[in-house]
Homo-oligomer: A and B are copies of this chain.
Amino acid sequence: MYSILIVEDDVIINGGIKVCLEKQGYETVSVYSLNEAREELKKSFSLVLLDINLPDGSGLELCKEIRQSSEIPIIFLTANDTEENMIEGFEYGCDDYISKPFSVGVLEQRIKAVLRRSTVQSGNSDIFSYKGLTVDLKRMSVTNEGNLVKLSATEFKILRLLIKNKGQVLTRSILIDRIWDCDENYIDENTLNVHIRRLRQKLEPDTKNPQYIVTVFGIGYTFGE
């Protein structure tokens, strides 16, 4: 049984979604503002539907907060005129977005798809493996071609974040936000670059042609591919 938190200030839309999803057998909780959402999120949900424009702030903020501590799937509900800016949403770690107005069919499909992805991934053990690299996300140990690699705490955090978001590009500012506790004094982007460099030195067989930590020029870094 999946439980879904609906964060949407438009009463009608919120209600409409609620009815549809409950009909499909999902449990739902409706809230209408960021603050209510924060309160509810102390409980556990399978997925969050998150409007961007809310009376007490932006859904993007909440997304960022959630991602500090949780990998729960998040789908944004966006007004169609903000669609172009939704690449930002992915940067904040959302899993998908849907433009309003949307049909019920589309909503259900997306929810199913996201839930399927998230359970497949989290169902696996905490050992991640790609090419010669093996990372035990729980024990925090890393081996490369069978050899144990010693990473510092920061290095491991970065690697883990990239792995957990494999398939997406993370911008430098998002990486910094999520690795260094939010409100901490300003961290220079180059500090991140230097950590990336050390990671590469420790992991990549050929530093000039990284296979694991790949630069996406003008944007940030991504794992693999």
Question: In this assembly, does A59 line the interface, its C-beta being within 8 Å of a C-beta of chain B?
Answer: no
As for how many copies of this chain the complex holds, the number is 2
- A10-24: CB near B (< 8 Å → 1, else 0) gives 011101110110010
Flag the segment in A47-55, A101-109, A190-198 that touches B.
Answer: A101-109
Which of A101, A153, A169 has most chain B Cβ within 10 Å? A101
Question: In this assembly, does A140 line the interface, its C-beta being within 8 Å of a C-beta of chain B?
Answer: yes
Known interface pairs A16-B91, A86-B12, A87-B12; A124-B110 also in contact (CB < 8 Å)? yes
Contact of A96 among B23, B97, B101 (CB under 8 A): B101
What is the chain B residue whose CB lies nearest that of A103? B95
What is the chain B residue whose CB lies nearest that of A88? B19
Question: In this assembly, does A201 line the interface, its C-beta being within 8 Å of a C-beta of chain B?
Answer: no
Question: In this assembly, does A71 line the interface, its C-beta being within 8 Å of a C-beta of chain B?
Answer: yes
Within 8 A of B (CB), among A108-140: 109-110, 113-114, 116-118, 121, 124-125, 138-140
Indicate if the CB atoms of A219 and B91 lie closer than 8 Å.
no
Question: In this assembly, does A1 line the interface, its C-beta being within 8 Å of a C-beta of chain B?
Answer: no
Question: In this assembly, does A83 line the interface, its C-beta being within 8 Å of a C-beta of chain B?
Answer: yes
Indicate if the CB atoms of B117 and A80 lie closer than 8 Å.
yes
Of all A-B residue pairs in the complex, the 7 with the closest CB atoms, nearest first, are A16-B90, A96-B101, A109-B124, A12-B86, A15-B87, A95-B103, A153-B218
A residues within 8 Å of B by Cβ? 11-13, 15-17, 19-20, 23, 71, 73, 80-81, 83, 86-87, 89-91, 93-97, 99, 101-106, 109-110, 113-114, 116-118, 121, 124-125, 138-140, 148, 152-153, 167-169, 217-219, 225
